[in-house]
A and B are shown apart, each in its own frame.
Chain A
């Protein structure tokens, strides 16, 4: 082809302006996206800092209305209790189900199970609350009749964690290289021996990450607790029955912020900061774990 008609060199003013405008639009959007998220932490710190002290996390709420003095020890202890119950329940079951989905990956039964496990991931937390209420808390009809209690709430949170742990366990097992698994099977290892001796150890960081992810997800859950536990200003002696409610950080923030009291709002923001810091630290832990295991995997081929 010989010389053809070329467009003029250089950009038309319209294209120049459009280039600039669209570019700055993305920058503005970016600022709009990040600012509120950072503002949350700043506002929590700014409005809550007057309540922050060591005794805030080591003392129980006091004064009237309750919480105007003292700290959030009940919430920290209660949240911890709930997370422990939830993990004790969901981790074995989640790993178990994840193993099943991985091991029998292609059977119709496993495919169905995977579908329902994924569906469970989409159940809104308020529905979990309703389910937990009827299964554990209510004192009429079927269910365990445990009342508003730590055990009821912990197991409800455990329900929420099950599909998360299942999913991540399956994923972690799928990430174990096939050559590794074949190596064991070719030596005459049974499926069980291979899973126990090789697949699970190789996937253990992934599974650990999944458990932490599940904990992260249930730690700030408030809605299910409204239905199964509500709140306790002290530390309970029992986890079942009418005196079995535990305190909870998220619930504590909810109750404090719901009151028309400036002092309680300050406490709520301080508690929110504590909860946020815990969550962010946990998140960072997960990332470090994932990063570490990636590094390790790279080093070892």
Chain B
């Protein structure tokens, strides 16, 4: 790894952030920063709010009826939940990959090109250029270059997930949020996704929610531990997994609950 990378630049800063589903509070006063060109992992037992937190970072929760937030989330200093902010533009800068691969019912090419087309890119040459770059970046190019016009559902689950990553990369986001991206995949596909994340980390800020503690330990630079809607501890991944400060983190990591 690059020795010069020990500067941490906050990309997304979350201050005193609370989230509610109707009257149920899902997140309690979270203070947190996601740093540029680092992989930040969020771990915690089911229902601890880590997914809610992740989805709050590109306003995907806007569509959940009754969802509301308090506090502040800023992306490069810009308040995400300010009334003047169009969530569509946020999502163009903060991409997301979901738990289950969710390619569109289109060809492989069109899947990757979708995000560009909706932004008004029409030129075929620009499109195919970016599609190729994105597929290369997602380490999928060699596998699909001969069947770009084939249906996305003909791919295996792992390939579909990498296609979804390519699709997210094509929009050139600054941050990529991964919501348990490998939980529906076999170990080999999982390994490929993890490898891919390491490649991408040089250019993107990545946040990943995972159930799998080994995965968090393998891929991430920093790890945040959530419990019951609160952020218990966030630190260097090695610190969290070797010498956590909070006893609850230790209990979780050593498998005493969750």
**Which chain A residues have a beta carbon within 8 Å of chain B's beta carbons?**
105-106, 177, 179-180, 182-191, 193, 197-198, 201-202, 299-301
Whole-angstrom distance between the Cβ of B169 and the nearest chain A Cβ: 10
| Interface check B229, CB cutoff 8 A | no
Q: Are A180 and B104 in contact (CB under 8 A)?
A: yes
In whole angstroms, what is the CA distance A201 to B110 when docked?
Answer: 14
In whole angstroms, what is the CA distance A188 to B105 when docked?
Answer: 18
Which residues of the partner chain B approach A182 to less than 8 Å between Cβ atoms?
A: 60, 63, 96, 98, 102
B66, B96, B105, B151: which contacts A186 (Cβ < 8 A)? B96
| Interface check B58, CB cutoff 8 A | yes
Q: Are B115 and A180 in contact (CB under 8 A)?
A: no
Q: Are A187 and B153 in contact (CB under 8 A)?
A: no
B93, B102, B168 interface centre (most CB from chain A within 10 Å): B102
| Interface check B81, CB cutoff 8 A | no
In whole angstroms, what is the CA distance A186 to B181 when docked?
Answer: 14
Q: Are A188 and B92 in contact (CB under 8 A)?
A: yes
Q: Are A179 and B98 in contact (CB under 8 A)?
A: yes
Which residues of the partner chain B approach A190 to less than 8 Å between Cβ atoms?
A: 88, 118
**Which chain B residues have a beta carbon within 8 Å of chain A's beta carbons?**
58, 60, 63, 65-66, 88-89, 91-93, 95-98, 100, 102-105, 114-115, 117-119, 151, 153, 164, 167-168, 171
- Asked whether A197 and B96 contact (CB < 8 A) given A177-B102, A180-B104, A190-B88, the answer is no
Closest to B93 in A: A188
In whole angstroms, what is the CA distance A91 to B247 when docked?
Answer: 62
Closest to A296 in B: B105
Q: Are A105 and B168 in contact (CB under 8 A)?
A: no
Closest to A106 in B: B65
**What are some 15 contacts across the A-B interface (CB < 8 A)?**
A180-B104, A182-B102, A183-B103, A183-B164, A185-B91, A186-B95, A186-B97, A186-B98, A186-B168, A188-B171, A191-B88, A193-B118, A198-B104, A300-B105, A301-B153
Q: Are B88 and A189 in contact (CB under 8 A)?
A: yes
Whole-angstrom distance between the Cβ of B54 and the nearest chain A Cβ: 11
- Asked whether A187 and B63 contact (CB < 8 A) given A180-B102, A198-B104, the answer is no
Q: Are A179 and B168 in contact (CB under 8 A)?
A: no
In whole angstroms, what is the CA distance A201 to B123 when docked?
Answer: 23
In whole angstroms, what is the CA distance A177 to B151 when docked?
Answer: 18
Q: Are B65 and A187 in contact (CB under 8 A)?
A: no
Q: Are B88 and A188 in contact (CB under 8 A)?
A: yes
In whole angstroms, what is the CA distance A183 to B95 when docked?
Answer: 10
In whole angstroms, what is the CA distance A69 to B58 when docked?
Answer: 72
Closest to B157 in A: A301
Closest to B97 in A: A186
Which residues of the partner chain B approach A185 to less than 8 Å between Cβ atoms?
A: 60, 63, 88, 91
Which residues of the partner chain A approach B89 to less than 8 Å between Cβ atoms?
A: 188
- Tally of contacts, chain A with chain B, CB under 8 A: 74
Closest to A190 in B: B88
Closest to A183 in B: B102
Which residues of the partner chain A approach B151 to less than 8 Å between Cβ atoms?
A: 300
Whole-angstrom distance between the Cβ of B7 and the nearest chain A Cβ: 29
Which residues of the partner chain B approach A299 to less than 8 Å between Cβ atoms?
A: 153
In whole angstroms, what is the CA distance A155 to B152 when docked?
Answer: 43
Q: Are A189 and B153 in contact (CB under 8 A)?
A: no
Closest to B62 in A: A185
Closest to B177 in A: A186
Closest to B110 in A: A197
A188, A197, A202, A300: which contacts B119 (Cβ < 8 A)? A188
Closest to B59 in A: A185
Q: Are A197 and B114 in contact (CB under 8 A)?
A: yes
Which residues of the partner chain B approach A186 to less than 8 Å between Cβ atoms?
A: 58, 60, 91, 95-98, 168
Q: Are A197 and B118 in contact (CB under 8 A)?
A: yes
Which residues of the partner chain A approach B153 to less than 8 Å between Cβ atoms?
A: 299-301
Q: For the A-B complex with A188-B89, A198-B104 known, give 16 more contacts whose Cβ atoms are closer than 8 Å.
A: A180-B102, A182-B60, A182-B63, A183-B104, A185-B91, A187-B91, A187-B167, A188-B91, A188-B115, A189-B114, A191-B88, A197-B117, A197-B118, A201-B105, A202-B105, A300-B151
In whole angstroms, what is the CA distance A185 to B102 when docked?
Answer: 12
In whole angstroms, what is the CA distance A186 to B87 when docked?
Answer: 10
Which residues of the partner chain B approach A300 to less than 8 Å between Cβ atoms?
A: 105, 151, 153
Which residues of the partner chain A approach B118 to less than 8 Å between Cβ atoms?
A: 184, 187-190, 193, 197
In whole angstroms, what is the CA distance A193 to B58 when docked?
Answer: 18
Closest to A179 in B: B102
Whole-angstrom distance between the Cβ of A74 and the nearest chain B Cβ: 44
B60, B88, B89, B164 interface centre (most CB from chain A within 10 Å): B88
Lowest 10 CB-CB distances: which A-B pairs, in order? A188-B92, A186-B96, A187-B115, A106-B65, A179-B102, A183-B102, A300-B153, A188-B91, A193-B118, A189-B118
Closest to A181 in B: B63
In whole angstroms, what is the CA distance A188 to B95 when docked?
Answer: 8
